[in-house]
Amino acid sequence: MTEKTQEKLQGLIENFKTFYDELHSPDYNETLLRRDYVDPLFALLGWDINNEQGYSQAYREVIHEAKLKSDDNTKFPDYAFRIGGTRKFFVETKKPAVNIDRNPEPAHQIRRYIRSAGLPLGILTDFEEFAVYDGRYRVKKDDRASYARVMYFKFEDYPKEWDKISSIFSKDAILKGAFDNFAKKDEKKKGTTTLNADFLADMEKWRLNLATNIALRNPGISVRDLNYVVQMTIDRIIFLRICEDREIEPENQLKELLGNKEVYPKLCKIFKDADAKYNSGIFHFSNERGRDDYPDTLSLSINIDDKVLKDILKALYWPNSQYAFSVMPADILGQVYEQFLGKVIRLTAGHRAKVEDKPEVAKANGVYYTPTYIVDYIVKNTVGKLLEGKTPDEVTKLKILDPACGSGSFLIGAYQYLMDWHLEWFNNNDPEKWARGKNPRLYMAANGWLLTTAEKKRILLNNIYGVDIDRQAVEVTKLSLLLKVLENENKETIGKQLSLFKERALPDLGNNIKCGNSLIGSDFYEGKSRDMFSEDEQEKINVFDWERAFTEVFANGGFDTVIGNPPLAKMSGNSRSQSNTLIFSCSSSLNMSRLLPS
């Protein structure tokens, strides 16, 4: 510790001692604590707390939750500390009157945040106390405050423990890898699990229970319709629950259904209201001018028993749920869905539902997803290269494709990169100019400039395209991309979109994300009679006409960059199949017909 740092730290400690009684009064709130003590504490660790370097929102080091929050109604952590826009750890603060050492509720809160965000460590502090928690342990309502706690100090201990704190949580320590090294210690320790595994287990249970009940209560339903209804019901519930925690949908909207009978008709009413608000394929129940995709006329007509739905809804709220959906990143949701889509619902001869591995998954010994760091690397070296030297108007014309998008991990990465690029470009080119006019591209938020909802929609519709042979995967990709649009949104911004611009909050992705077999064109049936193939066989072949599906794209020269994963390749010996990343990148437009059989 330098002499200057020691002097400032000791000054904070002495000041806290001087005003100890006043700081423990009910009138002293978290906002004052953060300003008076926590901000200066982390500034001593080298963090640019107030963004004095003037970074754009995408790259500022510290994100503050600006709302004044009550202790029992919190949706977001107080601080997110980041390097290069990537979250490393959260800090949650409490008033000094709260006993962090013994009170389990604040501990549950920070642990749910870091676990849901996929972060290894999080800090809970009121300056008087400083506690560090491990995010790899499941969060249960009866956990004591000390459970999963790996460090605990009192404020008088800061000077003697400073080297330890600084060696893990200073900006310099994180840049040198010390934080990651500490977090990886004992990563397979008994009792630890991943959030992905827990959430996947929950979703698989919901799917089986829904499938069993729907097959029983709707005896005429086909296996294809059963898979569709189960998938869409889960997708819609998860979407709405995430929107609740992000304060876009009314708080406890779904939870309130637990006290009702005939839950599904009431849930369908919420679904229809969402159709009017969001305009997404997740909620599309009636014909609309300008939309080519067929509305869902099936889901609202089926029967589902109350108990099955209530079990799902109950599992989405604390204390039955450990998830904080406000901070759950799209890539974690995508990784869970990739595993989830590896199974399919079958119907037995007695019309009973059964969940099995898809044949291709069973053959490959499981589903493999591309790690986020690989997605980020590929996107940076394809999309990033494509953007060099361009303006936003020029970028509008770029078309980026994943021809086997799965749950959408590459498209999510590309979309996030594009949004960050636009935000930085506007920030560096007179941001106030881009916040004016009829169609502003920026607005000023508490933490700095952000892209408007309309701008995020425009980028998504102009630049991002995907195809997958699996209809369920197509819906998951749409879900993940739409949740990306809603990041940093709230009731006010969504309401403004609806009232001021007379637009629904989300784009219709039906023209961007398509279902089909990227490798088999419509000429497959030339010289053959379709009668030779059963309906199931035609569904599996799922021919895809690129020029017809993306008429406008091909009229303007085709796709500029293609990123994604190839099919699984069999490895020799006893090794399991691995997914090798395939990258297509070209400076000129790429005509996808070259990749299709002639």
Residue carrying structure tokens 């642990």: 111
Angle between helices 263-278 and 306-314 (to 10 degrees): 60
Q: Per-residue pLDDT tens for 481-501?
A: 998 988 877 766 676 655 554
- Spatial contact of 480 and 337, defined as CB atoms under 8 Å apart: yes
pLDDT(594) > 60: no
Residue 167 — very low, low, confident or very high, per pLDDT cuts 50/70/90? very high
- Secondary structure element (H or E) that encloses residue 580, with its range: none
pLDDT(69) > 50: no
For residues 529 and 116, the model is more confident at 116
pLDDT(48) > 90: yes
For residues 598 and 93, the model is more confident at 93
Q: What is the pLDDT of residue 569?
A: 39
Residue 586 — very low, low, confident or very high, per pLDDT cuts 50/70/90? very low
pLDDT(73) > 60: no
The answer to whether position 437 is within a domain reads yes
Q: Per-residue pLDDT tens for 312-328?
A: 999 999 999 999 999 99
The answer to whether position 26 is within a domain reads yes
Q: What is the pLDDT of residue 387?
A: 97
Copy the structure tokens of residue 542: 């799922």
The answer to whether position 168 is within a domain reads yes
User: Is 495 in the same domain as 536?
Assistant: yes
Mean pLDDT calculated for residue range 281-289: 80
Which of 342, 362, 382 terminates a domain? The answer is: 362
User: Is 354 in the same domain as 391?
Assistant: no
The answer to whether position 189 is within a domain reads no
Q: How many domains does the chain have?
A: 3
User: Is 448 in the same domain as 567?
Assistant: yes
Copy the structure tokens of residue 272: 């229809």
User: Is 376 in the same domain as 357?
Assistant: no
User: Is 18 in the same domain as 69?
Assistant: yes
User: Is 310 in the same domain as 454?
Assistant: no
Residue carrying structure tokens 């991309």: 481
The answer to whether position 270 is within a domain reads yes
Rounded Cα gap, residues 41 and 22, in angstroms: 20
Which of 327, 362, 397 terminates a domain? The answer is: 362
User: Is 358 in the same domain as 411?
Assistant: no
Which of 362, 384, 402 terminates a domain? The answer is: 362
Closest C-alpha to 367, from 349, 385, 341, 389: 341
Residue 186 — very low, low, confident or very high, per pLDDT cuts 50/70/90? low
The answer to whether position 152 is within a domain reads yes
DSSP of 59-83, one letter per residue? T-SEEE--S--BTTB--S-SEEEEE
User: Is 496 in the same domain as 374?
Assistant: yes
Name every residue whose Cβ is closer than 8 Å to that of residue 4 and which is 6 or more positions away in sequence.
none
The answer to whether position 213 is within a domain reads yes
CATH code (residue 168): 3.90.1570
Name every residue whose Cβ is closer than 8 Å to that of residue 8 and which is 6 or more positions away in sequence.
40, 44
- Secondary structure element (H or E) that encloses residue 353, with its range: strand 353-357
User: Is 275 in the same domain as 331?
Assistant: yes
DSSP of 133-146, one letter per residue? EETTBPP-TT--TT
Domain that holds residue 249: 195-362
Beta pairing, strands 464-468 & 582-590: unpaired
Closest C-alpha to 201, from 81, 98, 340: 340
User: Is 487 in the same domain as 401?
Assistant: yes
- Spatial contact of 280 and 478, defined as CB atoms under 8 Å apart: yes
- Spatial contact of 439 and 456, defined as CB atoms under 8 Å apart: no
Mean pLDDT calculated for residue range 464-489: 90
What are 137-143's contacts with CB under 8 Å, separation 24+? 137/111, 137/191, 137/192, 137/193, 138/193, 138/198, 138/322, 139/108, 139/111, 139/112, 139/115, 139/322, 140/319, 140/322, 141/108, 141/318, 141/319, 143/104, 143/107, 143/108, 143/111
User: Is 399 in the same domain as 510?
Assistant: yes
Residue 437 — very low, low, confident or very high, per pLDDT cuts 50/70/90? confident
Residue 365 — very low, low, confident or very high, per pLDDT cuts 50/70/90? low
Q: What is the pLDDT of residue 50?
A: 93
Mean pLDDT calculated for residue range 522-537: 80
User: Is 284 in the same domain as 267?
Assistant: yes
Name every residue whose Cβ is closer than 8 Å to that of residue 28 and which is 6 or more positions away in sequence.
22, 95, 96, 97
- Spatial contact of 364 and 342, defined as CB atoms under 8 Å apart: no
Which of 186-190, 308-312, 439-443 has the lowest average pLDDT? 186-190
The answer to whether position 529 is within a domain reads yes
Rounded Cα gap, residues 466 and 594, in angstroms: 17
What angle is formed at CA 357 by the lines to CA 356 and CA 362, rounded to 5 degrees? 140
Mean pLDDT calculated for residue range 140-156: 96
Rounded Cα gap, residues 518 and 504, in angstroms: 31
Rounded Cα gap, residues 149 and 263, in angstroms: 40
Q: Per-residue pLDDT tens for 219-269?
A: 999 999 999 999 999 999 999 999 999 888 999 999 999 999 999 999 999
